[in-house]
Amino acid sequence: MKNIFYTLLMIVFTLLGAELVLRLFIDLPDPYQHLRVKSYTTGEVIRLQNTRNTDIAFVFNPNELFPEDEKNIVNIHINNQGFRHQDDVDTSRNEISIFAIGGSTTQGYDYAYEKTWCQVLEKNLEEKTGRAINVYNGGTAGAAMFDHIALLQNRVIHLKPDMVILFAGVNDLNLLVGDDNIFRFDDVYEEVEAVSWYKLGLARFTLYKLFLNAKRKLKSDEEHPLKRDSDEEDTGIAPGTPVQFADHLAAPLATQKLPMAEGPEINFAYYQKMVKSFIATCQINDIPVVVMTQPTTWKSEDQTLQKYHWMNKNKESRFPKDFMQNSMDKMNADVHQIALEENVPCFRLENAIPNTGEYFYDDCHFTPKGSVFVGEALTRFFIDNNLINLN
């Protein structure tokens, strides 16, 4: 009995000694610090934005529609003003500056920089005009019209751009089918995870923090797409580079598990007002603006493409694809009508791009071929409508 007692005593003293030594040399953050205070958010000026002067690696698990010869690891550079562009924004430079604002279909993290439609447009216009042109990519995944307006007002206007392009729609449709806070009231308490009282106590100790960090690291290593065999020899990610992940296969599976429901009533007037506000903000600041309508593939005849739809849902239900497409068509028609009334150029992209798996890999996101097509088609629209001075 004494041996057991002394053994336990030695273990306790050894752990206490190790804890003291570790505290002297290692300062680990409390993993549950956010649970020890009442968390309350008052919102942000821009809900979604890119961190400026940042390099990240975007790693994704592609579905069968994504070309096999395209890498699933893309190095992303964000410049000094938070835009995806290899050059910093410099207002003293003699250039034509165009700012593209939109969601993930503008962002284009799934393919190389030169295949984003922003870069295709930039290079084509430079060739046509012989002038220095920069198309700064302000796309942010998940961003909706209130995000676009905030970005325009707080990140773009003061830079005195020569033009702004707005490419929006599908994120706002998802907002309107599933969000009861469309006017973005910020008096919302953040959700907190449930953690046992003893874990909160253990988290005071460095030894437990080390154990928890190791456990989380092992779990993330097992699950992330970098573990695909094809990437083990060439990850293309520099040590210390932040990594963002996406999975083209998981989202459709999650949507299919949701129960089918009738489509809710859509507040189209809200979207109309937001688009008008964006255009008016540009006009009052003497900034030419071009709007693009949003193509979606819910009625595509491509049966392979139909397998990878996942955006026809909210948190509780999925909705008929006819309902989603008809709603998007209505929103696009509203944008076109507003553009006519405000004498703003409107590029009806949904009428120009083929609605197949060659050009899209899901509900609305472009394949590399699709993105290049958008850049080429938009270039023709600019030239045909004299939106840029060729002389």
Question: What confidence tens digit (pLDDT) does each residue in 160-182 have?
Answer: 999 999 999 999 999 999 876 77
Domain membership of residue 213 (yes or no) is no
Is-contact 348 293, C-beta < 8 A?
yes
Task: Check residue 293 and give its pLDDT.
Answer: 99
- Render pLDDT for 207-240 as a digit per residue (tens, 0 to 9): 777 777 777 666 555 454 444 333 444 456 777 7
Q: Judge whether 197 lies within some domain.
A: no
Is residue 365 assigned to a domain? yes
Assigned domain for 245 exists: no
The answer to the question of residue 352 being in a domain is yes
Q: Is residue 68 part of a domain?
A: yes
pLDDT greater than 70 at residue 136: yes
Structural domain contains residue 221? no
Total number of domains constituting the chain: 1
Residue 38 in this model has a pLDDT that exceeds 70: no
CATH number for 121: 3.40.50.1110
Q: Angle, nearest 10°, between helix axes 2-25 and 206-223?
A: 80
Helix or strand (DSSP H, E) at 57 = strand 54-61
**What is the residue range of 93's domain?**
54-182+258-384
274-285 pLDDT tens trace: 999 999 999 999
Q: What is the mean pLDDT of residues 237-262?
A: 90
Q: Is 36 part of a structural domain of the chain?
A: no
- Count CB atoms within 10 A of the CB of residue 31: 16
